[in-house]
């Protein structure tokens, strides 16, 4: 994958498992912490973690604006898992501030608190795979009210859990916490 230069945002959250998954998918990802590191990056993963903390750190390190500008210009593919998915959603005046990169409502802790985290079946409709697979949901957000241009990639109990709009992909679960690297392989092809 010589023309693909992926990175994982390494300010907070599930960084190492995404680096491993991208490496197993055949890429050589870097840990991204500064805006100047974005210059040559083609694909960026915003990992799960705590969305409010992540939002503050992105602003503190002057990364939020740079990332969204690159995505809007079509220069950067973005994969957000859990907290990353929250930031990518529609700005419905919920904290933390959303980036409006995917036209869908995203609600923090949609399945409950940390003790309500679970591993459950998801059904892939399109995208990286088809059929059932396992999803790891940790204080996971819920998605609702997708706009017509939002492609639903996977569902759980008929509810969207993975979506795509353009080169932006949001997963409410943690694909990096399984041994299946198909989501990361597919993302690198966007």
Looking at the annotation, which residues are catalytic?
Answer: 82, 174, 176
What DSSP string describes 127-184?
SS--EEEEEEESS--EEE---TTPEEEEEETTEEEEEEETTEEEESS-GGGSS--HHH
Taken in order 13, 16, 21, 26, the sign of the CA dihedral is positive
Q: Which residue has the tokens 């198909």?
A: 182
In this structure, the number of other CB atoms found within 10 A of the CB of residue 65 comes to 12
Residues 187, 123, 17, 138, Cα dihedral to 10°:
130
State the Cα angle at 136 between 68 and 9, rounded to 5°: 30
In whole angstroms, give the CA distance from residue 94 to residue 90.
Answer: 9
State the Cα angle at 131 between 125 and 135, rounded to 5°: 90
């Amino acid at each position: 994958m010589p023309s693909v230069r992926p990175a994982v945002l390494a300010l907070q959250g599930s960084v190492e498992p995404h680096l491993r998954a991208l490496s197993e998918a055949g890429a050589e990802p870097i840990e991204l912490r500064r805006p100047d590191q974005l210059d040559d990056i083609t694909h960026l993963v915003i990992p799960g973690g705590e969305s409010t903390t992540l939002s503050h750190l992105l602003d503190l390190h002057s990364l939020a604006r740079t990332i969204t500008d690159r995505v809007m210009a079509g220069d950067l593919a973005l994969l957000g898992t859990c907290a990353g998915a929250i930031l990518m959603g529609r700005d419905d005046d919920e904290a933390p501030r959303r980036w409006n990169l995917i036209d869908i409502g995203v609600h923090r802790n949609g399945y409950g608190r940390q003790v309500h985290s679970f591993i459950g079946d998801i059904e892939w409709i399109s995208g990286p795979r088809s059929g059932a697979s396992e999803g790891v949901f940790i204080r996971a957000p819920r998605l609702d009210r997708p706009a017509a241009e939002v492609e639903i990639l996977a569902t759980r109990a008929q509810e969207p859990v993975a979506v795509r709009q353009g080169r932006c992909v949001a997963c409410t679960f943690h694909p990096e916490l399984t041994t299946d690297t198909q989501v990361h392989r597919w993302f690198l092809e966007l």
